[in-house]
Structure formats: C-alpha cells, structure tokens
Amino acid sequence: MIEQFSQFFSILIELVSTPSNLIVLFVASFLGIIFGAMPGLTATLGVALLTALTYGLGADTALLALLGLYVGAIYGGSYPAILINIPGTPAAAATAMDGYPLTQKGLAGKALGLTTTASFIGTIIGLLFLVTLSPLIASLALQFTSWEFFLLALLGIVLSGSLTSPDLVIKGWITGLLGLFLATVGRDALQFFPRYTFEQPQLDGGLEIVPVLIGAFGIPQVIRALTTKNQTTPPAFVGNIMPEFKAIKRNIKHIFRSATIGVGVGAVPGVGEDIAGWVSYSTAKKTSTKAQQAEFGKGSEIAIVSSETANNACVGGALIPLLTLGIPGSPPAAMLLGALLLHGITPGPSIEIDHPNFLLEVTAIMVLASFAMWANGLLMAKQVLKVLQLPTALFIPVVAVLCILGAYALNLNMFSLYLMVPIGIIAFVLGEMKFPISPMVIGLVLGGMADESLRRALLLSEGSFLPIFERPVAVILVIVMTLFILAQFKWFKVLLARLTRLRVRTNSE
C-alpha cells in the first residue's frame, strides 16, 4: 500500500511538473463545463466529440483531455439547473429541484458555491473507492472464463435496460438487444466469417463505435434543441460563489452518504450519473427530519449537496467496472471505453499487466481534473454565464458541424457519416417513443465481448450450456439476472409480498 501511494504521488508530481499537461487539463475541464451548461449538450456527447479530435494525440494527452472534460461536464449541468431551472445534463435534474428556488430568493451564488464544492468532494471520494476497490475486482476477474464474461455483459445490458426505461422495462431491453445486434455486424473475431455486411467492404470491420455513438447522442440532441424554444434567460449577476465552508460542515454526513450512493450506482453497468443524483436526493429526503423535509423543493442545502455529490462520485464508480472488467458504468464511460480502445488501451482484468500503474495514472489525472473543475467553477462563472446566455438556435448548428467533423475525422471516411446520420434519426425516433438510448450504447459496447465469449465457450464445450452450472460465479450471475428480470413483473412482486407477510406472521407466532 505504501509503495502504491509512493507511485501515485510520483505520477502526480510528473503530471503537475509539465505545464502542457495542466493547460490541456484546464482547457478540457472548461470545455466540459460549457458542454454541461448548454441545455441539449451532454457529457456523453462531449466525450464522443473529443474522442475523434484526440485521435492524433498520444494516449496520455488524450486521457488528460477526456477525463478533464468528463468531470467538468457532469458538474457543468448544475449551472442552468440552478440559474434557469433547465438541467444542462440529465445528471443535474435533481439539482434543479432546489437550486432554482435559491436563485429565485437571490441566492444563486450560494447554490453554485455549494454545488461546486460538493462536486469536488464527491469526485475525490469516488476516486478513493476507485483506487482501493479496482485492484481487488481486477484480481477476482482474472479467475473469470468465457462463460462469466458473457453473463457479465448480458447482466450489464439487462440492468441498463431495466433502470433507464422511463415507462416500460421491456423498452430498455429491446434497445439493449438492438445494440447487441449492431455489435454482431462485421466479420466475427473467431472464424472471420462476414455477418450482416450486405457485401459492403466498409462493414467488414464492424460498426465504428465513435460515429455510432455521436449519431445516437448528438443528432437527437440537435433535432430537439432546434425544435424547442427556450425563452428563459439566466440572471445577469449571481453574486459571490465562494463556498460557505460552514454549510459544507453542516452537511458533511449527507456528503459522505451521497458519495457512497454515487459510487454504488456508478458501478452498476449503464445506469449513469442521473440515476445516482435522484437516488441520493430521495435518500436524503427520507433520512431528514420533518423540518428539513419541508425545505425540499424550496431551496434545501441538503438536497443540493446530496444530488451534486452523488452524480460526481458516480464518475469514479463508473470507472471501476470500466477499467477492471471492460464494462462501462455509464454512457459517458462507454464513450471513454471507445476512446481507450482507439488509443490502443484495452481495459479489463489484464490492464495492470499490459499497462503497469495505469489505474494509478487514471486516479492521478482524475484528482487533477477535480481540482481543475473546482477552480474553473469558482473563477470562470461569469464566462460560463455569458455562454449560457447565447441563443440555443445559434449554438446548436455549431454542435451539428462538430458532430459531422468528429465522425469524419476519425478515419477520413465518408461512410462514417452515412452511418452516423441514420443511427441518429433512429435514436431520435426511439427517444420520442420513450425508448432509452443508453442500453443500446451499452449493448453495442459490450456486444463484442458477449459475442466472442459465448462463441468461444460453446466451441470449448462442443455446444453445451451445462458448464455454466459447474462454475459458482456463473451460477450466481444467472440467479441475479433471473431474479432481476422476474422482479419487473407484477405477479412476482405480489408473490414476494405474500411470502414476506407469511414469514412475519410465522415469526410472530
């Protein structure tokens, strides 16, 4: 442990001692705050666009830029949520519940100060979990075989579809399976047989992740922004946003609880920062006194710090399964996975063998990114406010151009644009029908691992599924997945309720 801390500080000092690294980090963090602050843009879209732009850069520089933007964008969504009651990102939706009432009371600066510091603390706590839990999970994952990796990928798709659906759970599963299908396009990795290529040589290598993800998240946001009129403008002056450390001290227990919730939610594949914010908000309300509960929705400090701490702690939580298992914990983490693969880094159980000290390097960059986010949030609020006052109708076309350039610049291939546009239109139609897009992204990212692992396992077992039941971890994954699917049905919930009442009655007798 002492040796790890020594290596961590040496990596941190090396990063800080290079001025170009700090410039890249602060610029990326500021851009992330802009992406988070502009309604219609998201952290996912920001990471996707920056992935294409970092194609020609070294892996270390690209990682600095991507992680800086990721952290900044999750925080940046709180600006419009507090100032104009429009969350810049889904992760800031819970923050708007109490942030905007404070703005109406003339306390916008206080709300921004709380969110800035709570976001910083949440990110740091998430990193503590990342650096302590990741080696343990990676060591356990080294014992996995093809069966476990297949079931783990399938569980990630099932969980993502179940937890992100706005109404019917089956819609999330459908989009997850759609992403799984998209991952099978191209020549398979084991026998090099073409599948669903329609004799198009551009499809032999499969669907490029970045153009698909830019289309799935970028095009729908552009269409919605151009068809939605936003007449609300932020206040010209927000006051002093320096954090009130007394307020942070008063809410320290809520901050630590929310950080734990954020890490836990982030570790679940495909759920994301928005779910973490709402879960923490709900938990904070349930555990507060009646007097404190009465303040929720009217400008509660507890509500603001809880939601903002959780959604930023979720970043560290989402990186745990990403780096140790190769399974992204949120849509932005899925984009980050594509970026890592693009730069020759394959996350998974063998990451420390292939790239020694990579986890420590990521942690060091995240620590610096959190400081950059905190400094940018406090020092550049007025600049962000000016950007936020730009008419969306003028800003969104620029984003549309960036989407096109991002998809094309990856491999200078027009086919990427032909792929991006229809995917974007399909994603927009699915979104209007309340089909969640995140499961499709998770299915596309995990589909390659699921497909290859299943086929390899079946080849070794001569087509038999019985070896699944000979491995304890595989059996546990099957049971968890089965129970999670059954829990979505009403009859199963009724059965569980009856069994619970029967057990209570038996114990009382």
Q: What is the mean pLDDT of residues 458-481?
A: 84
Among 8, 3, 2, which Cα is nearest to 359's?
8
User: Of 217-231, 398-412, 456-470, which one has max mean pLDDT?
Assistant: 456-470
Whether pLDDT at 291 is above 60: yes
Q: Which two tokens stand for residue 468?
A: 């699944």
Q: Which amino acid appears at position 112 of this protein? A: L
Sequence-distant contacts of 355-358: CB under 8 A, at least 24 apart = 357/7, 357/11, 358/323
Q: What is the pLDDT of residue 173?
A: 84
Contact in structure between 304 and 95 (CB atoms under 8 Å): yes
Q: How many C-beta atoms lie closer than 10 Å to residue 61's C-beta?
A: 17
User: pLDDT (tens digit, 9 = 90+) per residue, 3-37?
Assistant: 666 776 677 777 777 788 888 888 888 888 887 77
C-alpha 191/C-alpha 202 separation (Å) is 19
Q: How many C-beta atoms lie closer than 10 Å to residue 232's C-beta?
A: 10
Q: What is the pLDDT of residue 193?
A: 80
The least confident of 4-13, 143-152, 381-390, 489-498 is 381-390
DSSP track, 251-294: THHHHHHHHHHHHHHHTSTT--HHHHHHHHHHHHHHTS-HHHHH
- Residue labelled with tokens 């100060």: 113
User: pLDDT (tens digit, 9 = 90+) per residue, 64-107?
Assistant: 888 888 888 877 777 777 776 666 666 676 777 777 787 777 77
C-alpha 60/C-alpha 47 separation (Å) is 15
Helix 146-164 × helix 169-182 angle, to 10°: 140
Q: What is the pLDDT of residue 189?
A: 73
The least confident of 4-18, 122-136, 316-330, 365-379 is 4-18
Q: What is the pLDDT of residue 341?
A: 79
**Residue 486 — pLDDT band, cuts 50, 70, 90?**
confident
C-alpha 82/C-alpha 388 separation (Å) is 12
C-alpha 154/C-alpha 465 separation (Å) is 15
User: pLDDT (tens digit, 9 = 90+) per residue, 218-230?
Assistant: 788 778 777 766 5
Contact in structure between 268 and 159 (CB atoms under 8 Å): yes
C-alpha 446/C-alpha 160 separation (Å) is 12
User: pLDDT (tens digit, 9 = 90+) per residue, 187-212?
Assistant: 877 777 888 888 778 787 778 777 77
User: pLDDT (tens digit, 9 = 90+) per residue, 243-269?
Assistant: 667 777 777 888 888 888 888 777 766
Distance from the first to the final alpha carbon of the chain: 52
Whether pLDDT at 236 is above 60: no
C-alpha 145/C-alpha 452 separation (Å) is 12
Who contacts 229 (Cβ-Cβ below 8 Å, separation ≥6)?
Answer: none
Who contacts 487 (Cβ-Cβ below 8 Å, separation ≥6)?
Answer: 493
User: Average model confidence (pLDDT) for the chain?
Assistant: 76
Q: Which two tokens stand for residue 108?
A: 């916008």
Q: How many C-beta atoms lie closer than 10 Å to residue 441's C-beta?
A: 31
Q: What is the pLDDT of residue 8?
A: 66
